[in-house]
Chains A and B, each alone.
Chain A
Amino acid sequence: MSAIDVSALTKRFGQRAALDRVTFEVHSGEVFGLLGPNGAGKTTTVRILTGLLSPTEGEATVCGLSVRDGGESLRRSVGLLTENPGLYDRLTARENLLFFIKLNELEPSAAWMRAASFLARFGLAGREDEPCGSYSKGMRQKLAIVRAIVHQPKILFLDEPTSGLDPEAARTVRDAIAELAADGSTIVLCSHNLFEVEQLCRRVAVIKTKLLAVATIDSLRKADPVLEIHLAGDPARFSSAVASLPFVPEVSVSDSALRVHLQREDQAPDVISCLASAGARIYSAVPTHTPFEQVYLDLIRQQEVG
């Protein structure tokens, strides 16, 4: 079942298109990655899906509510963590959370109990009466996550949740997101950090104003499988034989191994037969996949060239 359904979504600011006919869907209970370089339209997408901006064209529904007229109901259904935590520094953590509890018109004591349990899970228990201005960056980000989920949203949008954090703080925030994901929350994660996306997400959309790809990370990586073959002797002697195969787009030699790019994994036996026919002595043949970072960069470059 779709938690979010985005169809030909377009947003223009004056003449400039920030988003151009982007289409994807996010399933209930999944952690979905929204990737793209700076200025690609990720934040604009999130702002449209959280009811902050209206699309110029196209349609999107969040929890079955249209972003055009979902208004208050839509905003009740979502939680948003912005890149900057956006806390009131002079107010304490408790006051910051109580403010959002009041804005969501929740029963204060029950909502505070829930918030306090999240504060404890994220290691902030006992610090709730300190001004937020005295918090470290990681603590601020974790408090902002609690604020985003205090009203039990159906979908949580996290825009660059670990941006600007040191590795330790980023790790604790990632762990916090993983805990929420384990609880079955639907999460949309915007990030430049591909390691983080690989750890947390199963499916991703890559956008750069336009949609470049939407698929599982595994399928994106498997879309360009590589067979790494270790041979006796100089592997370069056999590269022309393999390159002559019609389904091999690229062959390279590295570290005494032949790296053969395939279109599909099931073409590997044909490559091995070809090498055996050419007299090669094969030590090992291991199917590998292009690193996700490479897949992402290739997608961005392909669009730039196109």
Chain B
Amino acid sequence: MAFHPRRAVAVFWKDFLDLRKNKGLLWTMAALPAVLVLVPVGIVYGYAHDPGDPSLRTMALFYDPHVQLSVNAARFLIDKTLTDWFGLYLIMPVFVPIFISSQSVAGEKERRTLEPLLASPVTAAEILAGKSVASLVPAVALSVLAFILLCVLVDAVAWPFTHELLLPNQMWLFGVLVIAPLFAFFGNGVAVLVSARVAEARMAQQLSGLVTLPLIGLVGGQLAGLLKAGTVYYAVEGGVVLLLDAALIVATVRLFDRERLISRWV
């Protein structure tokens, strides 16, 4: 069974067009990056606005008891906030494909559009490829745009205090360009797999969304001082997700077939 890229592109074209016209979904998708950009900007502003606040040293010592007196506590906390925040930022590339793929796969079942689609010459692999790209492109684009906005706003609020650009730094660049796409692939894979098994887009979103819980747990560990985040830490997270991505590809190719989709639906 040959793979016809033109048919996969047709699926991408239709899904992308449908997404552009789905205002409700676009607003929902925009809310997440807005929160993930504005909250750290607010925190950095708080530290940079009053860097002489004596309570900042107490906070810095909580996170690192060995922090030197020569190190400015506000700057230490700003750096720590930006490093830890990347863990939460990763929720975005996971969640956006979940929003989109749940709508595009389980949504097709729900709206009864899947049967005519499956009765056309397009193969399951072409559907899978087209839908995945239609979900990954907005997720990665949104992640990069949110990162650019984060850089601009963080540097704007921190500049009066630091007099240097804090973002982009090496860790964030590596994270946004390498780790985030791996996480986006993971979110999409989970959503496609779950969507193939359930009948409703909402249920697919809720079940797939559960995969963000470990991420939130890890950030909780960072904030509690139990885990120390950094480039290596995020690279290890990325490595684990890469392995999960490979497992998801195998599972999805095996489970995403016409008969299973039709039989599960009826």
Contacts and interface: CB of A to CB of B under 8 A. Distances in A.
Interface string B185-204: 00000000000000000000
A53 B262 contact: yes
Contacts of A131: 21
B263 interface: yes
Nearest to B118: A52
Interface string B100-122: 00000000000111111111111
Contact of B10 (A13, A87, A90, A99): A99
A235 interface: no
A225 interface: no
A75 B119 contact: yes
A47 B14 CA distance: 24
Contact of B13 (A53, A78, A99): A99
B18 interface: yes
B122 A90 contact: no
B119 A105 contact: no
B1 interface: yes
Tell me which of B1, B111, B115 has the highest count of chain A C-beta atoms within 10 A of its own C-beta.
B115
A82 B11 CA distance: 20
Contacts of A80: 115-116, 119
A303 to B, nearest CB: 23
B116 A86 contact: yes
B17 A103 contact: no
B6 interface: yes
B113 A88 contact: yes
Nearest to A104: B121
A91 B18 contact: yes
Contacts of A71: 1
Interface in B116-173: 116-123
Interface string A252-274: 00000000000000000000000
Contact of B18 (A50, A54, A88): A88
Given A47-B262, A53-B259, A53-B263, A102 B118 contact: no
Interface residues of A, number: 32
Contact of A86 (B11, B111, B123, B259): B111
Contact of B123 (A52, A53, A72): A72
B14 A91 contact: yes
A95 interface: yes
Interface of B is mostly: helix
B119 A90 contact: no
B75 interface: no
B258 interface: yes
A55 to B, nearest CB: 11
Contacts of B17: 91, 95
Given A86-B111, A99-B10, A75 B259 contact: no
A75 B120 CA distance: 6
A91 B10 CA distance: 14
A86 B10 contact: no
Interface in B71-124: 111-123
A57 interface: no
A75 to B, nearest CB: 5
Contacts of B9: 102
Contact of A90 (B1, B18, B114): B18
Given A103-B7, A105-B121, A52 B259 contact: yes
Nearest to A72: B121
Nearest to B258: A52
B59 to A, nearest CB: 49
Nearest to A147: B116
Contacts of A100: 116, 120
A103 B10 contact: yes
A82 to B, nearest CB: 5
A131 B119 CA distance: 23
A76 B115 CA distance: 15
Interface string A52-73: 1110000000000000000110
Contact of B112 (A13, A84, A103): A84
B4 interface: yes
A131 B14 CA distance: 14
A87 B111 CA distance: 8
A52 B120 CA distance: 10
A104 B126 CA distance: 13
Nearest to A101: B10
29 contacts: A47-B262, A52-B262, A53-B258, A53-B263, A54-B259, A71-B1, A72-B123, A78-B119, A80-B115, A80-B119, A82-B112, A82-B115, A86-B111, A88-B14, A90-B21, A91-B14, A91-B17, A95-B14, A99-B14, A100-B116, A103-B7, A103-B11, A103-B117, A103-B120, A104-B120, A104-B121, A105-B6, A105-B121, A148-B116
A-B pairs with lowest CB-CB distance, top 4: A102-B10, A84-B112, A90-B21, A80-B119
